[in-house]
């Protein structure tokens, strides 16, 4: 059991301003103590565990050095690939176990929101040493500590943040902190690498703070002919220098003249990008010329390191280059943070984290976070997505905010659990949705199909027509099986994946039919596009479902927007490389605006956008009585909901 109070530092905002000041005061003391070489025993008897799921030099070694210097002990897994994580252990289990061995966990992880998960499950305090592209609060403590030391204060300083402001987690924590201390920020992102919306929204809603974003050229003008920020294209043949003269065009909302107190340069966070993003454009290159103008000559140059070409080595000998001091501050500042933790635990001042209740959803599948790097997309089913209402400026938009990675999710369809009706969200529903959240009866859906799968009916439904009866459905399924066999008479190498729920039923019925006709029983799996964990699982007599090198037949009852098929294909490709993938659908509505054309079709039923095709299928074709319930119905949706009538 941890001897420390449960004080987690997941975000820089987990420390209030006076606590940061206290950490700095302690750091001053430790910096002196380190120089004089005295014995420090602040942490004697305590054990810190470092869990690093991503490479690190500075953060890990300075944390470990800090704990040793404090007289504490360190345990660590040299490489998390060599730990049980490689065997598939969940983050929650790992930190629960490690809490039994250590008094404090320092975690670095590639996924956004991982530190929040670890903090929720570990019995001991968790310090975030960088989670995906989200935050890196202890780096910010080092950054602020050095900036204040150099400038004497933080309030009123103007700091230019340059480079990859999208994925740079150190930048995000620094922005929150600079806002808190009343500094001015000028963001100078390279193209496409702007500060993400969720960071801006948090600043606006929690601190009523905003800042200007300028291009490199605009900054040059603002800083008075600043002559040395130039761009290097990543493709060498485009090499071009922009050296200031052309920068007389429009001035953004910052008032010139602008004296800069600091440049904070960052590297391109390649490991978080697709190759397309990496090759997309030019990246900042910063050299000594940037410090030559009257408005920049007082500026210090900061960088969290490592640098990868964006910062010229010629700057290193300039006293204004403080990046190695930032790195060196890692030890006293992290000593101070641990000492503060001990101090706070002793004072028994540990306050419970006040968190707003997450929304309880009444649907079978709560929405999933839209951020592909969110921790909820990688951990097992134990980690339920968790959302709060996002404060949206536009009342016509319903947005939720992921409790782990903070990314917003726009909701298009909402449902009421008692009436089992769903609606396309619009402004008139605001009040109702709030009420449903309070009652715990809100359901949200990503698509009409998902709502229908959940047993919800549209609020307004037009007349319903029967399009196919059971014999016709049976005939269509048979025709699908025949088409498949005609093209692949051997049927070996073929595996069938059905989209849950009706696609999976159809897949099994197809598999049985094919077996009857050819004697070959194809492996069968069900795929759930709404549940990323264990999304593909073998069904009905299939033990192992392999994707690699197989011909995959993806089966669904109807394709509507093509969204389901796209997501299903992506999920299949995540598991391996099939030799080929084909799509079989019972009903083809006519490809309207659908990017995917089914290869095998049971029946064509051209339908308009406002019409819905609903399929009812008995689980197995063995039971002829059940099969007589097979139906294809068509109805139209009358939308959008105009009147403010309640959903009872
Ligand atoms: C940073 C990180 O890992 O986020 N490095 C660090 O901790 N000093 C910045 C980076 O890797 O670019």
Strand, coil or helix: 455 = coil
Nearest to 307 by CA among 333, 332, 334, 326: 326
Distances 78 to 60, 69, 208 between C-alpha atoms, Å: 10, 20, 42
pLDDT tens profile 201-212: 899 888 889 888
Mean pLDDT of the chain: 85
- Report the predicted TM-score, pTM, of the whole model to 2 decimal places: 0.72
How many whole angstroms from 326 Cα to the centroid of ligand 1? Answer: 12
Q: How many residues comprise the chain?
A: 648
259 three-class SS: coil
The CB of 132 under 6 Å from ligand 1? The reply is: no
Pocket test for ligand 1, best of 106, 144, 305, 334 (most atoms within 8 A of CB): 305
| pLDDT given at position 265 | 96
CB-CB contact of 322 with 307 (8 Å): no
Residue 177 has pLDDT above 80, yes or no: yes
Prior bond of 99 cis (ω within 30°): no
Question: Which residue would you say has higher pLDDT here, 293 or 25?
Answer: 25
Structure tokens at 127: 């310090």
* Phi and psi, residue 281, nearest 5°: -160, -155
Nearest residue to 140 (alpha-carbon basis) of 299, 14, 29: 14
Per-residue pLDDT band at 318 (split at 50, 70, 90)? very high
Peptide bond into 32 cis (omega under 30): no
Query: Which tens digit of pLDDT belongs to each residue from 211-234?
Result: 888 888 788 777 665 443 433 333
pLDDT at 254 over 60: no
CB 267 less than 6 A from any atom of ligand 1: yes
Q: State the residue for tokens 């009123």.
A: 156
Q: Where are the alpha helices (DSSP H) in 131-248?
A: 137-151, 169-180, 197-207, 216-222
Q: Is 136 in the pocket of ligand 1 (CB under 6 A)?
A: yes
Q: How confident is the model at residue 352 (pLDDT cuts 50, 70, 90)?
A: low
In this predicted structure, what is the pLDDT of residue 540?
85
pLDDT beyond 70 at 244 = no
* Sheet of 126-131, strand order: 73-76, 47-52, 104-109, 126-131
For the Cβ of 139 lying below 6 angstroms from any atom of ligand 1, the answer is yes
Closest CA to 6 of 93, 141, 126: 126
Higher-scoring residue by pLDDT: 370, 361 = 370
Beta strands 408-411; 398-402: pairing state: antiparallel
Question: 540 C-alpha vs ligand 1 centroid, how far in Å?
Answer: 48
Q: What's the whole-number mean pLDDT along residues 424-441?
A: 81
Nearest residue to 163 (alpha-carbon basis) of 285, 48, 245: 285
Quick: pLDDT tens for 73-109.
Answer: 999 987 777 677 777 889 999 999 999 999 999 999 9
Cβ of 201 less than 6 Å from ligand 1: no
What is the model's pLDDT at position 591? 60
Identify the pLDDT of residue 643.
36
Q: Which two tokens stand for residue 173?
A: 């924590």
């Amino acid at each position: 059991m941890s001897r420390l109070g449960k004080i987690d530092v997941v975000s820089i905002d987990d420390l209030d301003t006076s606590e940061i000041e206290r950490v700095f005061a302690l750091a001053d003391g430790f910096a002196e103590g380190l120089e004089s070489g005295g014995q420090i025993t602040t942490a004697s008897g305590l054990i810190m565990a470092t869990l690093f799921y991503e490479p690190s030099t500075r953060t890990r070694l300075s944390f470990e050095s800090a704990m040793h210097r404090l007289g504490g002990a360190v345990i660590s897994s040299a490489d998390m690939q060599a730990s049980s994580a490689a065997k598939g252990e969940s983050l929650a289990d790992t930190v629960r176990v490690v809490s039994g061995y250590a008094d404090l966990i320092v975690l670095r992880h590639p996924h956004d929101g991982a530190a929040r998960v670890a903090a929720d499950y570990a019995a001991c305090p968790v310090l975030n040493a960088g989670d995906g592209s989200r935050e890196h609060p202890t780096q910010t403590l080092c950054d602020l500590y050095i900036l204040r030391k150099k400038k004497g204060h933080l309030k009123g300083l103007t700091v230019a943040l340059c480079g990859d402001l999208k994925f740079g987690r150190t930048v995000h924590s620094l922005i929150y902190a600079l806002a808190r201390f009343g500094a001015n920020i000028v963001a100078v992102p390279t193209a496409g690498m702007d500060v993400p919306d969720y960071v801006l929204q948090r600043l606006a809603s929690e601190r009523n703070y905003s800042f200007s974003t300028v291009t490199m050229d605009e900054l040059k003008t603002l800083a008075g002919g600043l002559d040395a920020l130039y761009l290097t294209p990543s493709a060498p043949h485009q090499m071009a220098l922009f050296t200031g003269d052309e920068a007389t065009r429009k001035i953004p909302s910052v008032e010139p003249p602008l004296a800069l107190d600091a440049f904070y340069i960052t590297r391109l966070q390649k490991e978080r990008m697709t190759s397309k993003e990496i090759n997309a454009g030019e990246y900042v290159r910063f050299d000594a010329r940037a410090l030559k103008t009257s408005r920049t000559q007082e500026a210090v140059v900061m960088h969290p390191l490592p640098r990868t070409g964006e910062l010229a080595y010629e700057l290193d000998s300039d006293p204004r280059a403080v990046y190695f001091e930032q790195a060196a501050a890692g030890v006293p500042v992290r000593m101070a943070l641990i000492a503060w933790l001990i101090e706070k635990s002793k004072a028994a001042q540990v306050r419970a984290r006040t968190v707003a209740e997450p929304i309880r959803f009444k649907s079978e599948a709560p929405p999933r976070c839209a951020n592909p790097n969110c921790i909820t997309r990688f951990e097992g089913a134990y980690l339920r997505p968790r959302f709060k209402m996002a404060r949206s400026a536009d009342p016509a938009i319903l947005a939720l905010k992921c409790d782990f990675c903070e990314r917003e999710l726009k909701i298009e369809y909402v449902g009421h659990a008692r009436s089992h009706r769903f609606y396309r969200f619009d402004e008139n529903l605001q009040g109702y949705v709030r009420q449903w959240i309070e009652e715990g009866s809100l359901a949200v859906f990503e698509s009409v199909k998902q709502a229908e799968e959940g047993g919800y009916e549209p609020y307004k439904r037009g007349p319903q027509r029967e399009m196919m009866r059971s014999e016709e459905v049976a005939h269509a399924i048979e025709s699908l099986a025949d088409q498949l066999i005609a093209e692949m008479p051997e049927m070996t190498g073929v595996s069938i994946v059905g989209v849950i729920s009706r696609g999976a039923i159809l897949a099994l019925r197809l598999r049985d039919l094919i077996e009857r006709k050819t004697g070959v029983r194809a492996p069968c799996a069900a795929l759930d596009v709404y549940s990323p964990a264990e999304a593909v699982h073998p069904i009905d007599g299939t033990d192992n479902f392999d994707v690699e090198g197989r011909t995959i037949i993806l089966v669904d009852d109807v394709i509507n927007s093509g969204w389901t098929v796209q997501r299903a294909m992506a999920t299949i490709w995540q598991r391996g490389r099939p030799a080929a993938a084909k799509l079989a659908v019972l009903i083809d509505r006519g490809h309207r605006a659908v990017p995917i054309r089914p290869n095998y079709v049971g029946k064509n039923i051209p339908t308009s956008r406002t019409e819905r095709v609903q399929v009812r299928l008995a689980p197995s074709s063995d039971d002829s009585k059940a099969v007589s319930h097979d139906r294809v119905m068509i109805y139209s949706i009358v939308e959008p909901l105009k009147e403010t009538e309640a959903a009872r």
